[in-house]
Structure 1
Amino acid sequence: MTYTFKPMTQSQAEFIAYHWHYEGEYSFYDMESDKEDLVDFLDPESRGDTMFSVYEGEGLAGFFSINKTGAGIYDIGLGMRPDLTGNRRGSKFLTAGMGFVKFRFSPVKITLSVARFNERAIKVYRKIGFQDVETFNQNTNGDTFEFLKMEYVCHEEEGKSI
């Protein structure tokens, strides 16, 4: 199955924010868990042209945010629909998103940050080729959590074949 990336609409943002709920420790990623993130996610101006809905066939499968943070450096954020997580689909989803970023922006490097407890996601990121850069603490969801910053160095030929 292929993934299609489209600019996120307001109704999609609202649906994700209010209807996507993750189980157990992954409820950390519920949009409603952090009021500031929720406000930004729901505000079309804050989202700007950086947030994309990801479709698998006709169904909304996830979202991808893409922010330029430096010369040729793009930071990504992503989320899969809760019922799709934990089913060995993360690698395909991430690879499709990285392909979209490479095709659209020709990055030198792609970065992301992930909650340190999320070993399931970290395993996928490492499998794709992301390397650990640093850990840092971030205030979110009413507390302070440890995050891992990771990076993927793009090779010149990668963006040309997509």
Structure 2
Amino acid sequence: MRLFIRKMSEDRAVQILNWKYKVPYDFYNNESIKELLENSYSVVIDENDQLIGFFCVGHSAQVPSGIQYGAYTEKCIDIGLGMKPELTGQGLGFAFFSFILKHVQNVYKLVPLRLTVAKFNERAIRLYEKMGFEKKMEFSNGATVFMTMVNPITVPKVHRH
């Protein structure tokens, strides 16, 4: 499957707003069209122009209640992402997240990446750990416990001859 990144459009935002995740992932069914149309959101499509998922970077990827707990004090680029519900649980997450990660690392060179995940989302946590992310801190918004995970900078080694 070949993947491509496109700017979020109103049509794509409406599609995403109609996604319905199964319990307990239904927690993620709450984006707003205004938020999705902000500049930090992009979509991932396949070669047939089918929507695979979306991602955002920066402040939009942070959980607001984490700020009061100091979850976002380190200098990192925050990433948030979502995959079309019908595609989850099929082993496609690795390719999807790898594609997004490569793009973000190319744009934000040599800056650690951070993401925030609901602690119950063990499927995502396993994937993020597989991709080199390490658990950092936990905080709660009263209803859900979240965890930040950071992918430290990996500086290429210089070989001397």
In the superposition, the TM-score normalised over structure 2's length comes to 0.81
Change beyond 3 A, Cα 1:27–1:71: closer
Q: Does 1:109 align with 2:108?
A: no
Q: Distance in 1 between matches of 2:38 and 2:123?
A: 30
Aligned to 1:51: 41
Structure ranking higher in strand proportion:
1
Q: Does the CA-based 8 Å contact 1:101-1:107 persist in structure 2?
A: no
Kindly state the Cα deviation for residue 23 of structure 1 after the two structures are TM-superposed: 1.2
Aligned to 1:121: 124
Structure ranking higher in helix proportion:
1
Q: Distance in 1 between matches of 2:101 and 2:80?
A: 11
> How much identity, in percent, do the aligned residues show?
31
Q: Structure 2, unaligned stretches of length 5 or more?
A: 60-71, 157-161
In the superposition, the TM-score normalised over structure 1's length comes to 0.80
Q: Does the CA-based 8 Å contact 2:110-2:154 persist in structure 1?
A: no
The AA in structure 2 aligned to 1:104 is V
Q: Rg: which structure is higher?
A: 2
Structure 1 runs of 4+ with >3 Å offset: 68-72
Kindly state the Cα deviation for residue 15 of structure 1 after the two structures are TM-superposed: 1.5
Q: Does 1:66 align with 2:42?
A: no
Q: Structure 1, unaligned stretches of length 5 or more?
A: 32-37, 158-162
Kindly state the Cα deviation for residue 129 of structure 1 after the two structures are TM-superposed: 0.6
Q: Distance in 1 between matches of 2:117 and 2:151?
A: 14
Aligned to 1:146: 145
Q: Secondary structure at the match of 1:43?
A: helix
Q: Distance in 1 between matches of 2:45 and 2:110?
A: 23
Change beyond 3 A, Cα 1:70–1:96: farther
Q: Does the CA-based 8 Å contact 1:108-1:155 persist in structure 2?
A: no
Q: Secondary structure at the match of 2:80?
A: strand
Kindly state the Cα deviation for residue 71 of structure 1 after the two structures are TM-superposed: 8.4
Kindly state the Cα deviation for residue 6 of structure 1 after the two structures are TM-superposed: 1.0
